[in-house]
């Protein structure tokens, strides 16, 4: 009778070992968990309070001004024109979606390397002439899935979680108008 129980104990032991190995294989408790530790680049950012945006590139300033919920555009050499509010809304949604992790560097010399020294695009946002946001958007990351970004007055350079340069680096935000010429 004892040999019968001895075989049962071995079978139970083997089952426990197999269950443990299956757990280690499928659960992989040693692997790094995919926890998102990123934070918003601008926390508590309220786009409704913004009534002026300056986008500076190559010494030229493009100014977007909101008056009575209507955006207008002026640049260094042009008159005031109606701006496309959908482009501006997209720009705000992309800005709100920016997530950053730890800075990639805090070395001042690296600002030139990542184009966050003012040589690419600088964006300033205002609420009644009070600066709410002031940051530099640099070049694309090597995998072309993000940009480098730095807040004015700080040396920390971050990598964004998505492409944002193309939403700020526009020649114009003016509404496109189409005319229909109908010959009668």
> What's the number of domains the chain is made of?
2
Domain presence at residue 58: yes
pLDDT in tens, 79-135: 888 888 888 888 888 888 888 878 999 999 999 999 999 899 999 999 998 998 899
Q: Are residues 1 and 72 in the same domain?
A: no
Q: Are residues 95 and 5 in the same domain?
A: no
pLDDT in tens, 34-79: 555 566 776 666 788 899 999 999 888 999 999 988 999 888 777 8
Contacts of 121 (CB under 8 A, 6+ apart): 55, 56, 57, 136, 137, 165, 168, 169
pLDDT in tens, 24-38: 777 766 655 555 556
Closest C-alpha among 92, 109, 114, 125 to residue 159: 114
Q: Residue 47: which domain range?
A: 39-168
Q: Which parts of the chain fold into alpha helices (H)?
A: 2-27, 85-97, 110-113, 165-168
Q: Are residues 138 and 110 in the same domain?
A: yes
Domain presence at residue 180: no
Q: Are residues 143 and 73 in the same domain?
A: yes
pTM: 0.72
Q: Are residues 1 and 64 in the same domain?
A: no
Domain presence at residue 173: no
Higher pLDDT, 137 or 169: 137
Cα separation values, 153 from 37, 80, 97, 118, 135, Å: 24, 31, 22, 12, 9
Q: Are residues 134 and 113 in the same domain?
A: yes
Q: What is the model's pLDDT at position 32?
A: 54
CA-to-CA distance for 18 and 1, rounded, in angstroms? Answer: 26
């Amino acid at each position: 009778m004892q040999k019968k129980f001895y075989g049962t104990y071995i079978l139970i032991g083997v089952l426990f070992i197999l269950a443990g190995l299956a757990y280690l294989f499928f659960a992989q408790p040693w692997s790094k968990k995919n926890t998102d530790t990123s934070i918003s680049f601008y926390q508590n950012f309220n786009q409704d309070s913004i009534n002026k945006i300056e986008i500076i590139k190559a010494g030229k300033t493009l100014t977007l001004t909101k008056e009575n919920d209507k955006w207008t555009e002026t640049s260094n050499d042009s008159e005031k024109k109606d701006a496309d509010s959908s482009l501006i809304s997209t720009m705000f949604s992309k800005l709100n979606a920016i997530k950053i992790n730890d800075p990639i560097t805090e070395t001042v010399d690296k600002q030139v390397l990542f184009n966050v020294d003012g040589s690419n695009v600088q964006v300033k946002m205002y609420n009644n002439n009070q600066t709410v946001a002031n940051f530099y958007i640099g070049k694309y990351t090597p995998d072309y899935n993000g940009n480098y970004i730095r807040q004015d007055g700080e040396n920390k350079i971050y990598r964004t979680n998505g492409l944002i340069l193309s939403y700020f680096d526009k020649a114009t935000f003016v509404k496109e108008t189409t005319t229909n010429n109908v010959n009668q």
